[in-house]
């Protein structure tokens, strides 16, 4: 006799691995708080420029270096009288966009490259991974400067430059995971069923890489944001009047003796963003770790 007949209630369904991972992630207080912070920062980046009374690039010579909470400027103004709150919202939007797009580029290239190399093996794997080693040897800043000289400076080029570097580590991680996965029984069963190499990679290898890849993505986004900030600090990144967290911090460092708020508020936004992504990455790693289940 089934449990339904004995108790009059349907049998309780077991939680799936996805449900269990979500529950473990939400039970992590640091990761949950970081998710809330990241959502608030994203809403500020998306809605802030539209809600502030001044455009982010509006110059006002009468309000140069106005302190916070003065003349209606909640976070003060910069050397050209531009509202820092509006510029911070725009800078956060640009930095998050660069982080997400460049990470997506590295994700697509790195997963496809690493999974293909790891599954095919042999001479193909050796050739593909040696290409990765050669690209690793190129200095990042030299590669960016070369692209700037060849194609000029624009925001799309930053996406390409950073994404073209960050996929290298992704490909190595994916290759290592693929080498482990392709020895599993379900891969052998797929081969025995007549599934081709491309089908095995697309339908079985890549879906089983989502856990480690998801964790690495949350760690790649802050790395990309830091890379963009470094380029902008050197004057090779986002160009005025457009703003990013890197350009705001660079300008604030130059004027911090006259206007401390120009450095403090962008730095706090940068620190909060990077910390949120790192805590979420740690939470995902713990939630997806089969040893802790």
Q: Which domains does the chain have, with CATH numbers?
A: 17-56+70-292 (1.10.3720.10)
Q: State pTM to two decimals.
A: 0.83
pLDDT (tens digit per residue) in 213-237: 888 888 888 888 888 888 877 777 7
Token pair listed for 135: 């690209």
pLDDT (tens digit per residue) in 151-160: 766 777 777 7
pLDDT for res 5: 41
Q: Are 107 and 213 in contact (CB under 8 A)?
A: yes
Residue 201 makes CB contacts below 8 A (sequence gap 6+) with 115, 116, 119
E strands in 105-221:
none
Residue 237 makes CB contacts below 8 A (sequence gap 6+) with 158, 228, 229, 230, 231, 244, 246, 247
pLDDT (tens digit per residue) in 275-291: 999 999 888 888 876 55
Between CA 26 and CA 35, with CA 30 as vertex, the angle to 5 degrees is 65
Task: Please report where in the chains the tokens 């608030």 appear, as a residue.
Answer: 40
pLDDT for res 10: 45
pLDDT (tens digit per residue) in 242-270: 888 988 998 898 888 889 999 999 999 99
- pLDDT (average), residues 197-201: 79
Q: What gap in Å lies between CA 165 and CA 224, rounded to an integer? A: 10
pLDDT for res 126: 92
pLDDT for res 130: 92
Proportion of the chain above pLDDT 90, given as a percent: 29
Q: What gap in Å lies between CA 193 and CA 248, rounded to an integer? A: 57
Task: Please report where in the chains the tokens 């000029």 appear, as a residue.
Answer: 152
């Amino acid at each position: 006799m089934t449990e339904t007949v004995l108790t009059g209630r349907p049998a309780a369904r077991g939680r799936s691995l996805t449900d269990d991972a979500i529950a473990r992630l939400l039970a992590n207080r640091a990761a949950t708080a970081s998710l809330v912070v990241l959502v608030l920062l994203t809403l500020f980046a998306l809605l802030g420029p539209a809600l502030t009374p001044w455009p982010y690039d509006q110059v006002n010579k009468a309000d140069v270096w106005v302190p916070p909470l003065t003349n209606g400027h909640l976070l003060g103004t910069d050397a050209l009288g531009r509202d820092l709150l509006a510029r911070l919202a725009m800078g956060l939007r640009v930095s998050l966009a660069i982080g997400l797009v460049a990470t997506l580029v590295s994700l697509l290239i790195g997963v496809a490259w690493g999974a293909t190399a790891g599954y095919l093996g042999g001479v193909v794997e050796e050739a593909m991974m040696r290409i990765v080693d050669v690209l690793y040897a190129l200095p990042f800043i030299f590669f960016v400067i070369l692209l700037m000289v060849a194609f000029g400076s624009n925001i799309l080029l930053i996406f390409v430059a950073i994404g073209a570097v960050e996929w290298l580590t992704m490909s190595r991680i994916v290759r290592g995971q693929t080498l482990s996965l392709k020895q599993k029984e379900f891969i052998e069963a797929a081969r025995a069923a007549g599934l081709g190499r491309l089908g095995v990679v697309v339908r079985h290898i890549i879906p089983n890489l989502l856990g480690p890849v998801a964790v690495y993505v949350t760690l790649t986004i802050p790395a990309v944001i830091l890379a963009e900030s470094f380029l902008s600090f050197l004057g090779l990144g986002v160009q005025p009047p457009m703003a990013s967290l890197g350009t705001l911090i660079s300008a604030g460092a130059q004027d911090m003796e006259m206007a401390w708020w120009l450095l403090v508020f962008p730095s706090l936004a940068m620190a909060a963003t990077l910390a949120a992504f790192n805590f979420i990455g740690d939470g995902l790693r713990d939630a997806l770790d089969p040893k802790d289940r």
